[in-house]
């Protein structure tokens, strides 16, 4: 994880430089993409110049940061947030909810979940509920892994008292999952998200954490399945991630729909697909 990372509350210049550095963009790269001179961008990062609202929006789009992060950049520069964050039960989200319901139901008999940017469970279908139940009583699993009352899929997966013990290929699957979580957190530039991922790292054994950094040469499958075994049943699954194409709300921008598919014929038959 990144140590001594600047806090996002340090103001617009620090936050702008943080996002640019995270995306490995030079000042010249970002200036060209945003349609501004490199000199002006340098002045913005040192605080010698103050940005207009339009400039902040242009820089946010050029860096391809999330709507949540664009709001933070605007507020750091002294402007009001641009994008709303409506709860899923808001009337404006009716079409979104209908689409989510359709996707989850039509994916049966295969598991599917809807999560937010920190892997909090928002929706799931019956097949996903059954998959979690393979590892034990769901209420007890959630209570052990998420004592704060949340339902976080990353914690459920990695916590030693969650489903980690049921992952047959944990030595391969868990490091890749951790790498994905860390990469997303670093790209977000969100100190709270980085702290959340650091907490997840500390849940797994040290030797498994080390595997995140190891580069091993081997013949790779098209995708690495997650292999689970419990109650005499064994399932091998891979996933796809779906996002909204043109989000204009922080909630929809943060949302991910993860669809699970059988990686072998035995799993397909077990799921009834």
Establish if 33 belongs to a structural domain. yes
| 3 within some domain | no
State the Cα–Cα distance between residues 182 and 198, nearest whole angstrom: 8
CATH number at residue 250: 3.30.450.180
Give the end of a domain, one of 76, 101, 123.
76
Within-domain flag for 190:
yes
My answer on whether 209 and 111 are in the same domain is yes
Q: How far is CA 184 from CA 106, 178, 241, in A?
A: 28, 10, 13
Whether residues 136 and 58 share a domain: the answer is no
Residue with structure tokens 């922080």? 250
Last residue of a domain, one of 76, 111, 129: 76
Nearest in space to 178 (alpha carbons), one of 149, 138, 208, 156:
208
- Within-domain flag for 150: yes
Does residue 66 sit in the same domain as residue 43?
yes
Instruction: State the DSSP string of 171-227.
Output: HHHHHHHHHHHHHHHHHHT-HHHHHHHHHHHTTS-HHHHHHTT-----PPPSSPPEE
Are both 124 and 201 inside the same structural domain?
Answer: yes
Q: Is residue 86 part of a domain?
A: no
Same domain, 29 and 95: no
pLDDT at 215: 46
Please indicate, yes or no, if residue 103 is contained in any of the structural domains. yes
Domain assignment present for residue 84? The answer is no
Considering the domain architecture, whether residues 122 and 255 belong to the same structural domain is answered as yes
Give the tokens for residue 115.
Answer: 């999560």
What confidence score (pLDDT) does residue 254 get?
Answer: 92
Same domain, 200 and 71: no
- Name the domain boundary from 52, 76, 100: 76
CA 189 centroid distance within chain: 13
What whole-number distance in Å separates Cα of residue 53 and Cα of residue 248? 17
C-alpha 229/C-alpha 189 separation (Å) is: 36
What is the pLDDT tens value at each position of the chain, 273 positions in all? Answer: 443 344 444 699 999 998 898 888 999 999 999 999 999 999 999 999 999 999 999 999 999 988 999 999 999 999 999 999 999 999 999 999 999 999 999 999 999 999 998 999 999 999 999 999 999 999 999 999 999 999 999 999 999 999 998 999 988 888 888 888 887 787 776 778 888 888 998 888 887 777 666 644 444 456 678 999 988 889 999 999 999 988 999 999 999 999 999 999 999 999 987
Q: What span, in angstroms and rounded, lies between the C-alpha atoms of 176 and 183?
A: 10
Q: Are residues 72 and 95 in the same domain?
A: no
- The number of distinct structural domains making up the chain is 2
Locate tokens 């989510």: which residue?
100
Indicate the pTM of the whole model.
0.82
Residue 237: closest CA among 118, 114, 119, 131 = 131
Residue 4: per-residue pLDDT: 39
User: 219 and 161: one domain?
Assistant: yes
Whether 130 and 246 share a structural domain: yes
Same domain, 96 and 231: yes
* pLDDT at residue 5, rounded to an integer: 41
Q: Let me know whether 214 and 132 are in one domain.
A: yes
Range of the domain at 126: 91-271
């Amino acid at each position: 994880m990144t140590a001594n990372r600047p806090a996002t509350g340090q103001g617009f210049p620090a936050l702008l430089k943080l996002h640019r550095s995270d995306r490995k963009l030079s000042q010249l790269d970002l200036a060209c993409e945003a349609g501004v001179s490199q000199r002006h961008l340098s002045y913005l990062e040192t605080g010698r110049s103050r940005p207009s609202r339009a400039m902040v929006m242009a820089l946010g789009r050029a860096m391809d940061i999330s709507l949540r992060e664009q709001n933070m950049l605007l507020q750091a520069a002294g402007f009001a947030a641009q994008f709303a964050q409506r709860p899923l039960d808001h009337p404006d989200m009716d079409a979104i909810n209908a689409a989510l319901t359709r996707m989850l139901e039509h994916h049966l008999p295969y598991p599917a979940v809807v999560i937010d940017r920190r892997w909090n469970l928002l929706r799931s279908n019956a097949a996903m509920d059954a998959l979690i139940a393979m590892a034990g009583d769901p209420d007890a699993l959630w209570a052990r892994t998420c004592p704060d009352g949340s339902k976080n899929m990353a914690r459920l997966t990695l916590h030693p008292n969650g489903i980690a013990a049921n992952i047959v290929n944990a030595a391969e699957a868990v490091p890749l999952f951790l790498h994905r979580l860390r990469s997303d957190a670093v790209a977000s530039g969100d100190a709270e998200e980085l702290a959340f991922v650091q907490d997840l790292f500390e849940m797994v054994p040290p030797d498994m954490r080390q595997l995140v950094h190891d580069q091993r040469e081997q013949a790779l499958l098209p995708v690495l399945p997650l292999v689970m075994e419990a109650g005499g049943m064994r399932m091998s699954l891979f996933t796809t991630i779906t996002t909204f194409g043109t989000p204009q709300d922080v909630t929809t921008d943060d949302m991910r729909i993860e669809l699970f598919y059988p990686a072998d014929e035995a799993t397909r038959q077990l799921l009834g697909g």
